[in-house]
Amino acid sequence: MSIAEIGEFGLISRVVARLGSGPRALLGPGDDGAVVAAPDGRVVASTDVLVEGRHFRRDWSGPADIGHRAAAANLADIAAMGAEPTALLVAFCAPGNLDVAWAEELAGGLSAEAALVGASVVGGDMSSSPTLTVAVTALGDLGGRAPVVRSGAQPGDVLALAGRTGHAAGGYTILSRGFRTPKMLVEAYRRPVVPYAAGPSAADAGATSMIDISDGLLQDVGHVAAASLVAIDIRTDTFTVPPAMRDAATALGVDPYQWLLAGGEDHALAATFPPGATLPEGWQEIGTVHDGAGVTVDRKPWSGPTGWDHFR
């Protein structure tokens, strides 16, 4: 059954039935607006959009996968500010001939990823469109913490990473060459595993800057360096190439460090900490902050691509 057959309001009622509720949702879907608890007295908000053909392909990812990824991309941004996610709102645009079950499973994926952090889908909008598009806004609560911005890194700070990089990029390359294994990388592309709790814990540990690695470590750490007016050096000896990744990279003729350093969409978090700070659980030192500008790898410029531009 297509979504055109059941119409906007029929689709809304079916999709809403797939959404759980969270402790922060004071008023969920079905009214002009949702009401979400903001006990801190400030709300963190971030928006990310996924467009078919640009951010996902329906033959590579199922609707639940795409829901998980769309939610993760947004929830990771909230965590990267040092906040805890509370709610998602979703604008869903699709051709009228899309199967209703596809939309329902997308909603299920969005809701399930949000539930990992105690958040829920509280509202949204739907429209027909020739292009399947999922725009998500996430809200979060700082719980009394100062927001951790990109501009606070200081020379002498340590650069640390929580979560994994290069896995989604490996999966993307594998799928784009027509393969389906190794499963570890393909599944990492389909559903990122995001270290959500590492965001607030980094804030509590005094992180001076933080960013969600969505476009690639080098590019995103480059944003931190630019905003903080510092140079950042990444040490490759701090990275371990998992055997499955090494084998896949060898088979495909790719440098696995290209995936690790420039691959996006795993939604790891990178943060800088003052020298001597004890890194919280899940954080690992991968580099250092210096006077200067730009990002280097083992003190040298990186020669490959550094990340993703959504208009190029």
Question: Is 302 marked as binding a ligand?
Answer: no
Nearer to a copy of itself, 42 or 57 (CB): 42
Question: Is 298 marked as binding a ligand?
Answer: no
Question: Is 233 marked as binding a ligand?
Answer: no
List all residues 6 or more positions away from 188 whose beta carbon is below 8 Å from its beta carbon.
164, 167, 168, 170, 171, 266
In terms of Cβ atoms closer than 10 Å to its own Cβ (0-12, 13-18, 19+), residue 290 is middle
Question: Is 32 marked as binding a ligand?
Answer: yes
Q: Give the position of tokens 């999966």.
A: 171
Nearer to a copy of itself, 300 or 312 (CB): 312
C-alpha 18/C-alpha 105 separation (Å) is 8
C-alpha 227/C-alpha 247 separation (Å) is 37
Question: Is 247 marked as binding a ligand?
Answer: no
Q: Give least dist CB 211 to a copy of itself, A.
A: 6
Nearer to a copy of itself, 49 or 254 (CB): 49
Token couple for 272:
């800088």
Nearer to a copy of itself, 55 or 185 (CB): 55
Closest CA to 37 of 51, 49, 57, 23: 23
Nearer to a copy of itself, 49 or 184 (CB): 49
Q: Give the position of tokens 């990388």.
A: 185
Closest CA to 69 of 202, 161, 167: 167
Question: Is 13 marked as binding a ligand?
Answer: no
C-alpha 82/C-alpha 90 separation (Å) is 22
Question: Is 7 marked as binding a ligand?
Answer: no
Question: Is 77 marked as binding a ligand?
Answer: yes
Token couple for 202:
């980094």
List all residues 6 or more positions away from 94 whose beta carbon is below 8 Å from its beta carbon.
3, 103, 126, 128, 129, 132, 133
The bridge status of strand 231-234 relative to strand 294-297 is parallel
Nearer to a copy of itself, 232 or 249 (CB): 232
Binding residues: 32, 46-48, 55, 77, 124-125, 150, 212, 214-215, 265, 308
Binding residues for ATP: 124-125, 150, 214
